[in-house]
Structure 1
Amino acid sequence: MDRNHLLLFVKLLETYIQLLMCLATIRVWLIECEEKEAQWIDLGNNTLDTLSKRSTEIHHITRESDDNCIYELRMDRNTFAVLCDLLQTRGGLLYDGLVTIEEQVATFLNILAHHKKTDVFKLDSIGQGKQPTPVANDCTDNRWKWFQGCLGAIDGNYIEVNVLDSDKPRYRTRKGSIAMNVLGVCNRDMNFVYVLAGWEGSATDSRVLRDVITRHNGLKILVDNYYLADGGYINGEGFLAPYRGIRYHLREWEGNTRAPTNKEEYFNMKHSQARNVIERCFGLLKRRWAILRSPSFYPIRIQGRIVIACALLHNFIRTHMALDPEEYTSSNVEDMPIREEQPNQFQIVDVVESICYS
């Protein structure tokens, strides 16, 4: 065999080896495709199985028993159905082909109620809506008859949050917790009229109020009407605060030996009894939605929107349920709102602009 024949044989051998390698590569690729296809089939079967189980569980929660529905979703079956219809017809919530509207709503409510992840199942403000009804001159309610023209009460409340380390100094409260300062306004029926969430925990109540009354969608108060406020706010048009330097909190009036001794103390006692509605409102909000009782790991803007959503759902439940079971549930210490006494800072808010409605 001469040299030319030998070179030709080597080239043919190289070509044959390359062809074998190409065939081996194709074979490996086909095997990988078969494995991926099998995985996708298994994943699809598992997804369908999970969706089927979730659908069955949600059907059990929302269709079989009011007690179970209230425990899991904080509302009875009829109220849940009304909410789903409202979100579909007015909110634009759509069925995506896999998860029904009822399942989407139930999953969201369950996360809020129990602070669970989405796979576990066994704005920054509420704008002022309908103007609350002021206390009439002929009111007979012993709690409110002393405050003709009063619309409700206002207060700030701390909701613990998770933020970046660089932002923690701004969100640190006077007692060291990391929280946002949420301003809430409620009427006499313990429904929220206005909520502003997102201010840092280091901000004082009066500073947050200044923001509320100066923004275009802020709190508006009718002439001759007002909200009850604590000593953290100044007396001004639209707000009525207690006498300062005189005992005020309800616990200071407990017992027969602690009766008021003058008109200022008597006023503060009645003021505290009526203004307590906003503290009860925040306490009920936190007792109903566990996600507000401990920090969540959503972005801070989302955490603010969660507060708003919980307040809106609180109003919705109290409007559509004949009896709110959470209101008559004994409260635990951990369920009560985080509250801190704030120093009087009266230089920030001078007066609240009142408007007339025709």
Structure 2
Amino acid sequence: MAICDHNVVNTFVDARHPGANHDSFVWNVSVAEQELKFDYNNGKTNTWLLGDSGYPLQPYLMTPFRSAADGIQRNYNTKHSKARNVIERCFGVLKNRFRCIIGSRGLHYSPEKVTQIVNVCCAIHNVCIFLQHQIPLEIPDMENLVSYEEELENSNISNTAALIRMRIAESLL
């Protein structure tokens, strides 16, 4: 799991869990979730992360609408997808810069060593951005790869988070 800003700088990385773990599990045990929950419970209610449909909707983590019912929700999903494209670009840049982390190649090390390799790649990636090092190759536009049709059921959607997401969707009109 990774969080990045609008400049594709990694602000949080958790590579401890192999790909077989669901996004919501990784999120629920992450330090990022704990910090955002703490901030939210202490009055900081104007900060949101964008997550794909594998993540739980929370007051500080906005996800797309499942089966968007109207134009407002479809508009929200479109803008959500475009904004979330930044993390997809970030992953593309990382894989382009550090070919060893491309999934098909696989890292043949212990899970602990792979975690260290991924974390170091992310740190060096941030240094490259800070030093304005050019990305070696053209990065494909990942926008069309986001699909909300493969959304998973999420039984613990809070009413507060759903209300926040709807207000955001309505404000985008």
TM over 0.5: yes
* Residue of structure 2 in register with 1:278 after alignment: 87
Match among 56, 59, 72 for residue 237 of structure 1 = 59
Give the structure with the higher percent strand.
Answer: 1
DSSP 3-state at the match of 1:220: helix
Q: What is the correspondence of 1:86-97 to structure 2 with a 5 Å cutoff?
A: none
**Deviation at residue 264 of structure 1 after TM alignment:** 1.3
Change in 2 beyond 3 A, CA 1:237/1:330? closer
DSSP 3-state at the match of 2:152: coil
Unaligned runs of 5+ in 2: 162-173
The letter of the residue matching 1:194 is F
Match among 86, 99, 103 for residue 290 of structure 1 = 99
* Cα deviation digits, residues 190-234 of structure 1 (max 9, x gap): 111111012132211001100004xxx866234121101111122
* Residue of structure 2 in register with 1:165 after alignment: none
Q: Identify which of structures 1 and 2 has the higher relative contact order when contacts are C-alpha pairs closer than 8 Å and 6+ apart.
A: 2
The letter of the residue matching 2:125 is H
The letter of the residue matching 1:312 is A
The letter of the residue matching 1:205 is D
**Deviation at residue 298 of structure 1 after TM alignment:** 2.1
Q: What is the correspondence of 1:72-87 to structure 2 with a 5 Å cutoff?
A: none
User: In structure 2, what is the Cα distance between the partners aligned to 1:298 and 1:277?
Assistant: 29
DSSP 3-state at the match of 2:123: helix
**Deviation at residue 242 of structure 1 after TM alignment:** 1.3
Percent of aligned positions that are identical: 26
**Contact residue 64 and residue 77 of structure 2 kept, 8 A:** yes
* Residue of structure 1 in register with 2:125 after alignment: 314
* Cα deviation digits, residues 241-261 of structure 1 (max 9, x gap): 1111139xxxxxxxxxxxxx7
User: In structure 1, what is the Cα distance between the partners aligned to 2:116 and 2:16?
Assistant: 9
Q: Are 1:303 and 2:114 matched, yes or no?
A: yes
Q: RMSD over aligned Cα, in angstroms? A: 3.1
Q: Are 1:200 and 2:11 matched, yes or no?
A: no
**Deviation at residue 331 of structure 1 after TM alignment:** 4.0
TM-score by length of 2: 0.72
* Residue of structure 1 in register with 2:50 after alignment: 228
User: In structure 1, what is the Cα distance between the partners aligned to 2:107 and 2:115?
Assistant: 11
The structure that has the greater radius of gyration is: 1
**Contact residue 184 and residue 195 of structure 1 kept, 8 A:** yes
TM-score by length of 1: 0.37
* Residue of structure 1 in register with 2:166 after alignment: none
User: In structure 2, what is the Cα distance between the partners aligned to 1:300 and 1:211?
Assistant: 17
Unaligned runs of 5+ in 1: 1-182, 248-260, 353-358
* Cα deviation digits, residues 152-196 of structure 1 (max 9, x gap): xxxxxxxxxxxxxxxxxxxxxxxxxxxxxxx01111111111110
DSSP 3-state at the match of 1:301: helix
User: In structure 1, what is the Cα distance between the partners aligned to 2:73 and 2:33?
Assistant: 32
* Residue of structure 1 in register with 2:76 after alignment: 267
The letter of the residue matching 2:10 is F
**Deviation at residue 343 of structure 1 after TM alignment:** 2.7
Q: Are 1:191 and 2:9 matched, yes or no?
A: yes
Q: What is the correspondence of 1:37-48 to structure 2 with a 5 Å cutoff?
A: none
Aligned length, in residue pairs: 146
